[in-house]
């Protein structure tokens, strides 16, 4: 059905010449790009490689080139989540320390739950790295979720401990 479509487009006066020039420019731009790439395919996303190849192409026509599709969306969302994680992680740490201090008003009440949660987060991320599990969009938020849930659990456990200690102190 579309077998002759390319030939019909290329045969049109004006358009065919532009398309031939564009195809030749794309082939010329992509050819050296493969040899110059320093990072492997697993290190550089397809979206970044496409943008680099487009940047190398000479401008033969007016307009912009847009890269779209699921790979482009995944790449952009992954980059944004990485930036958000780099911003949110320190903020979450400070907020958790403040909440722990306001809850217990002691250094021990801050340090014990905080160290426990941080160790669990480091171990979870370490096990992911050890088993070869890559960090995806779903696992990128894992440290923040572990810290939030772990801190909530630690607050409950420590509150119960302090309640039991105060109940024992009243009996003496």
140 burial type by CB count under 10 A (0-12 exposed, 13-18 middle, 19+ buried):
middle
% of the chain exceeding 90 in pLDDT = 16
Supply the pTM of this predicted model. 0.58
Per-residue pLDDT, 21: 54
Measured in whole angstroms, how far is the alpha carbon of residue 136 from the centre of its chain?
Answer: 6
| 111/50 Cα distance (integer angstroms) | 48
C-alpha atoms less than 13 angstroms from C-alpha of 87 in its C-beta half-sphere: 6
| 144/148 Cα distance (integer angstroms) | 6
Residues in the chain: 172
| 96/166 Cα distance (integer angstroms) | 25
Band of the pLDDT at 153, cuts 50, 70, 90?
Answer: very high
Q: What is the pLDDT of residues 55-95, one digit of tens each?
A: 777 777 677 778 888 877 877 887 888 788 888 888 888 99
| 16/9 Cα distance (integer angstroms) | 6
Q: What is the pLDDT of residues 88-113, one digit of tens each?
A: 888 888 999 999 999 888 898 899 99
Q: Smallest Cα–Cα separation from 147: which of 129, 127, 122?
A: 122
Per-residue pLDDT, 23: 54
The three-state DSSP-derived secondary structure of 58-125 is CCCCCCCCCCCCHHHHHHHHHHHHHHHHHHHHHHHHHHHHHHHHHHHCCHHHHHHHHHHHHHHHHHHH
């Amino acid at each position: 059905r579309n077998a002759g479509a390319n030939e019909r487009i290329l045969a049109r006066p004006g358009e065919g010449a532009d398309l031939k020039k564009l195809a030749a420019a794309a082939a010329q731009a992509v050819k050296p790009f493969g040899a110059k790439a320093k990072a492997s395919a697993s290190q550089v996303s397809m979206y970044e490689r496409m943008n680099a190849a487009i940047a190398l192409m000479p401008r033969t026509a007016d307009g912009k080139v847009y890269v779209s599709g699921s790979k482009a969306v995944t790449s952009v969302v992954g980059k944004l989540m990485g930036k958000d994680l780099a911003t949110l992680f320190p903020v979450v740490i400070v907020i958790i320390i403040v909440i722990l201090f306001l809850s217990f008003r002691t250094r021990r009440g801050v340090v014990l739950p905080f160290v426990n949660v941080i160790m669990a987060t480091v171990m979870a991320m370490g096990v992911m790295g050890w088993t070869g599990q890559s960090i995806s969009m779903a696992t990128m938020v894992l440290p923040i979720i572990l810290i939030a849930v772990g801190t909530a659990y630690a607050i409950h456990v420590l509150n119960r401990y302090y309640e039991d200690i105060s109940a024992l102190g009243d009996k003496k």
